[in-house]
Amino acid sequence: MTAVSETTARELLIDLVEIPSPSGEEEKAAERLVEFFKNHDREAWIDEVGNVRAPADDSVLLTSHIDTVPGDIPVHVESAENDKILWGRGSVDATGPLAAMAAAAVNTGVSFAGVIQEETDSLGARHLAENRDEPGAVINGEPSGWDGITLGYRGILFGTYVATSESGHTSRPEPNAIEQAMSWWDGVESVVAEFGGDEYDPVFEQVTTKPISIDGGTSADGLSVEVTMDVQLRIPPQTDADSLRELADGELNTGTVNWGKPIPSVMESPRTPVARALRAAIRNVGGDPRLLRKTGTSDMNLYADTWDCPMATYGPGDSDLDHTPDEHLSLSEYDRSVAVLEKTASRLTRGETA
C-alpha cells in the first residue's frame, strides 16, 4: 500500500472540488475517487447505482457523499495568515469530509464508501445500507469542524400536495387550487406548532415545517387551475413520522398529499466506542472535542435505522457555510481532520477507544 502524503491528500480535495458533482452528476468525481484508490494499491469500483466502493478492514467504514448542491463558486486557493483557504462548491459540504476520509482510509486500511444523491433522496446511502454487510463501526462524513463530533440529527418527512380547481374569473370569491394549497399549509403549520413542543425548546427538539417549492396556474387547456407544492417536516427524536402525517392529512379539505418514505431521526450516545475514539483523537491532535446535535438530516439517519453498530458523523468545515455562495475550507483544518480520522480508525481497529 502506498501511503497518502499531506500534499497528495490536498491534491485530491482540490481535484474533487474542481469537478462539478451536483446530485445526479457524480460520475466524474466518482471516477477520480476510484483512480485515487487504485493509485494507492486499493481495490475500488463504482457500483450499480453510482457509489464508490473500496472495501478493506470492515471494523471501520468511513463514508461520505460525493454530490453537492448546485452552484458555481470559482475554485481557487487563497493565502491567509499561516494558512491557505480553498473556495468552491462542496469544499465544506461534503467534499472536504469525503476527501479526508478517502486519504484516511488508505493510510489505515479501513473500508470506504462514497455515496450519491445525499442532497436529494439519499439513493446511495439507502442502497449501501441495504446491500452490504453491517460494518463494525461507521464514521459518516459531514462538516462538524475538525474538533466537533455530531451525534444527533432530526429526521425528515417529504410531501407533495396536488390540487385542481375549475378555472374562473379572478374576481370570483371561491378559492382556487393555489389558495387551497396555501390554506392547507397554513393549517399544517398551526397544528404542528401545537403538537411539536414548546417554542423555547432547542430547535433540535422541535418539529419544524418548510415549504420547498410551489408551482401553479391555469392549465394548458384553460379549463382549470392546478397547483403542486413540495413541503418538508423535520422530525425530532421524540416524534414519529406517522403522527405528523396524520396531523397534516387531517387539515385536508381539498387536494391530496403524496408522502415520501420518511427518514427517521437519530441520536447516538457519547459513550459509544466511535464517539470515545473520536474524542481521544481530537485531543491527541490538540483540540477540545465538541459534541453536536444538528437540526438537519444526514445519511447517518439511514445507517442507524438499518445497522446496529456504533456510529458518529465527523468532518472538516463550518456547517454554517453549507449551500452558501461563501463556501470555503481551511486547508490546515482539513489536514487536522485527516489526522483525527487516521487516529480514530487506528484506535477502533485495535479495539482502543480512549
Contact between 17 and 90 under an 8 Å Cβ cutoff? The reply is yes
Q: 10 Å Cβ neighbour count for 29?
A: 24
Q: Cα 144 from chain centroid?
A: 12
Active site residue 93: no
- Helical axes 123-131 vs 299-306, angle rounded to 10°: 20
- Helical axes 273-284 vs 331-349, angle rounded to 10°: 130
Rounded to an integer, what distance in angstroms lies between the CA atom of residue 286 and that of residue 343?
13
Catalytic residue among 26, 93, 118, 142: 118
User: Quick one: CA dihedral 195, 200, 206, 209, positive or negative?
Assistant: positive
The count of C-alpha atoms lying within 13 angstroms of the C-alpha of 17, restricted to the half-sphere facing its C-beta, is 30
Task: Report residue 253: phi and psi, to 5°.
Answer: -110, -35
Task: Report residue 257: phi and psi, to 5°.
Answer: -125, 130
Cα dist from 208 to 192, 196, 226, 263, 300, whole Å = 8, 8, 27, 15, 20
Catalytic residue among 35, 43, 48, 67: 67
Active site residue 134: no
Rounded to an integer, what distance in angstroms lies between the CA atom of residue 14 and that of residue 352?
33
Rounded to an integer, what distance in angstroms lies between the CA atom of residue 263 and that of residue 158?
9
* Neighbouring residues of 127: CB distance < 8 A, sequence distance ≥ 6: 47, 48, 49, 51, 115
- The residues annotated with a catalytic role in the active site are 67, 118
